[in-house]
Structure 1
Amino acid sequence: MRLSQQQLEQFDRDGYLFFPGLFTPEETRNLNDAVPELYNRREAYNVREKGSDAVRTNFAAHMYSEPFARLARHPRMIEPVEDLFGEKLYMHQFKINGKMAFEGDVWQWHQDYGTWLNDDLMPTERAMNVAIFLDEVNDYNGPLMFIPGSHKKGVVEARHDLTTTSYPLWTVDNELIGKLVERAGGKQGGIVAPKGPAGSMILFHSCLVHASSSNISPWNRVSVYLSLCAVSNHIRRHKRPEYIAHRDFTPIECLPDDCLLKDYPVDLPWKNGLPASALQTSLDELKLAA
């Protein structure tokens, strides 16, 4: 799937593109059906909500789950980002975020690149998220909220929040959020929240400031996020474990467009369990050296 000139201009202006219902119900169902078994695993790659057994984030499913390994090579998710960056991509991060009914906690206001820069030493913002809804997203189950055009500010000041939720995040303070929202239109469009059926897709800039509220509705809001990085822009530090920030910078080669409906062969290097190397970091190496 390639982007039109109009879409390229819209992305440059707003920092995101929304494609409602891009994947069919059958394609989405094949992915959704695989999620409960993944969430039930007691593995390091399942981060659970603070004070709850509900999964907040599942990492690296493309390394051990066939349906998600195929999604990670899907041209509808890969090709638009190749158009924007003008080069091949590698998978920096792969997440299945589970904002579960009644239990899904808040994601504070942040930029993705803020974390990738501070934790992983990613050189520039030539990386972005592509998200696909596995459930319908509505007004009540914690939709993603964006501040349109906020990516134009580049990297903004952030602090490392280690306590609000179960997952540490580099977050943007309330005063700056207020200014960015007012700059984007205040109550007339300063915050947008794309909503739509399962199978909808969002592509958004790594510096676009975004957040989501808690989900106290009776409806799950599970979404998959491919964090795609230009190969030339690969991370320079391995402070985080490999299951969170990947170290294989091999360019992604797309499968055919019907890959969610047919059993194309895919490599699953972690199918038989998480290797010890996926848990190691450069901090461990420094401890050993000392």
Structure 2
Amino acid sequence: MKPLTSDQIQQYQRDGYLIIRHFLTQPAIDRLYQVAIDDQAISKHAINVNDSTGKRSKLSLWYQPGNDSYGLLTRSQRMVESVDKLLDGEAPVCHFHSKLMQKEPRVGGAWEWHQDYGYWYKNEFLLPDQMMSVMMAITDANRENGCLQVIKGSHKMGRVEHGLSGEQVGAAQRYVELALETMELEFVELKAGDALFFHSNLLHRSEANLSDKARWSLISCYNRQSNIGYKESSTSTSSITPITVVADDALLTQEAEGLAEEAADFLAKEADVALQ
């Protein structure tokens, strides 16, 4: 396991994001991909989210990180220690939620410009510097299939006002336009197994998937135990429960499958505070 370097930490603080290539080995990403496409619980609890044009993306969101394949990755030593180096504060790292993003070929819709904290602010978390997301590419992500776009350094703007756009929460367009006048737009193209760490206030979006191949990714969101959400969308306490760390090779050495139907605490669309 290679710890983050001081240059990588400085890059995250400057740009609001950090890409780590080959975060997962090929056997690990093969395992995660197979588990994801076969996961009946994920499929059953997927939420359809329309963009402003009516195109649909699917996501499945849950809170408690278990002993399933996703949970073993989310709780892996390298992952948690990397997050710990990048988050502000000293309190233990906790898992807020994870979501499997399923952008299907030709029909997978766009995600509007937004900050994750634009959603989480409505959950009444007070400290955005103590929250972040990690996107793990399960399949390749490129411009054709709607890879993530980010505005470099936009996390320093603080929280931007958000409102509903289609069935999504989008950032105020005026502030996005102002940011793009002085900040760099970056297309984050990833290979399967690459990881993107990004700040909760980083402005980001993605286009619709116009390719013939699906784009799948696992996004795990983290929080410091000291940062309390006073109006969460779930009764789960995972966001303030320190993560039980597992070995980096647990995804391969433990006989883990997908999410257990009876154990996973999935988000229901109507319960999402950010959409109310």
TM norm structure 1: 0.81
**Counterpart mapping for 1:209-248 below 5 A:** 209-238=203-232, 240-242=233-235, 246-248=236-238
Aligned residue identity for 1:100:
E
Q: Deviations over 1:226-279 (max 9, x none)?
A: 1000011021113x235xxx423210021111111111789x7x6426679989
Provide the residue aligned with 1:18 in structure 2: 19
Change in 2 beyond 3 A, CA 1:137/1:12: same
Q: Deviations over 1:80-124 (max 9, x none)?
A: 111123331111111011111111111000000111012x10111
Unpaired runs of 5+ residues, structure 1, are 185-189, 284-290
User: Which residue, out of 235, 248, 253, partners 1:262?
Assistant: 253
Cα pair 2:65 2:74 within 8 Å, conserved? no
**Aligned-residue identity in percent:** 25
**Counterpart mapping for 1:104-115 below 5 A:** 104-115=108-119
Provide the residue aligned with 1:183 in structure 2: 182
Secondary structure of the equivalent of 1:101?
A: coil
Output the CA distance in 2 between the equivalents of 1:83 and 1:14: 15
User: Which residue, out of 94, 98, 102, partners 2:102?
Assistant: 98
Secondary structure of the equivalent of 2:80?
A: helix
Q: Shift of residue 46 of structure 1? A: 1.3
Output the CA distance in 2 between the equivalents of 1:87 and 1:241: 22
**Counterpart mapping for 1:1-290 below 5 A:** 1-38=2-39, 43=44, 45-50=45-50, 56-60=58-62, 66-85=68-87, 86-118=90-122, 120-125=123-128, 126-161=130-165, 164-165=166-167, 168-169=168-169, 171-184=170-183, 190-238=184-232, 240-242=233-235, 246-248=236-238, 249-263=240-254, 271-272=261-262
Larger Rg over CA atoms: 1
Output the CA distance in 1 between the equivalents of 2:268 and 2:225: 20
Aligned residue identity for 1:241:
S
* Pairs aligned (count): 265
Output the CA distance in 1 between the equivalents of 2:178 and 2:55: 36
Output the CA distance in 2 between the equivalents of 1:174 and 1:232: 32
Provide the residue aligned with 1:286 in structure 2: none
Cα pair 2:104 2:214 within 8 Å, conserved? yes
Output the CA distance in 1 between the equivalents of 2:111 and 2:182: 22
Q: Which has the higher strand share?
A: 2
| Cα RMSD for the two superposed structures | 3.0
Aligned residue identity for 1:262:
T
Q: Deviations over 1:211-234 (max 9, x none)?
A: 001101111110101100001102
Q: Deviations over 1:114-137 (max 9, x none)?
A: 11012x101110100011000011
Output the CA distance in 2 between the equivalents of 1:234 and 1:24: 34
Q: Shift of residue 173 of structure 1? A: 2.5
Secondary structure of the equivalent of 2:60?
A: strand
Output the CA distance in 1 between the equivalents of 2:178 and 2:19: 24
Q: Deviations over 1:32-55 (max 9, x none)?
A: 111123367664x31024499976
Output the CA distance in 2 between the equivalents of 1:217 and 1:282: 30
Output the CA distance in 2 between the equivalents of 1:277 and 1:110: 20
Cα pair 1:59 1:93 within 8 Å, conserved? yes
